[in-house]
Structure 1
């Protein structure tokens, strides 16, 4: 189980780096390539990061970030957590604009 997961992720990482390197040859490396770990290896890279694990719902709450790349589905909503506790979630940009407008 765990070893298979490692093998799969090694494959995904290798293919991701390969694709990013090919894109760098076509379009140039990412803006902060100079001084990065990739410059030290001499490997051009289009992307500064290639693989990541998206934050889960719980981690995103703790980190104060989105749990994915999907569009915001509501500017404000109630999140049910733990033992039927509720958290009121308000989009930070929306809240900032409301404050600026005095609302």
Structure 2
């Protein structure tokens, strides 16, 4: 256990949230690719594809069968870990990633 956690429960909560990172990034990839295809078909720049935080959280909650609260915690944790970029109400991958 790391010294940054005050209790064993905090450690387990963080570990639980981080266990969703890889599948959550896979979901984000699928959603971004869907939006890229939509932009491409309409003649817009596909590099502008982004997903709303709410849509991302709802899709995670549906696929993982978890609460909306936990899905938002996973999204927030991904943002804080600098794995995804947040701007306005949208999220997308950091430049050069994916």
TM-score with structure 2 setting the length: 0.32
Relative to the length of structure 1, the TM-score reads 0.30
Higher relative CO (Cα under 8 Å, sequence separation at least 6) belongs to: 2
Identify the structure with the greater helix proportion: 2
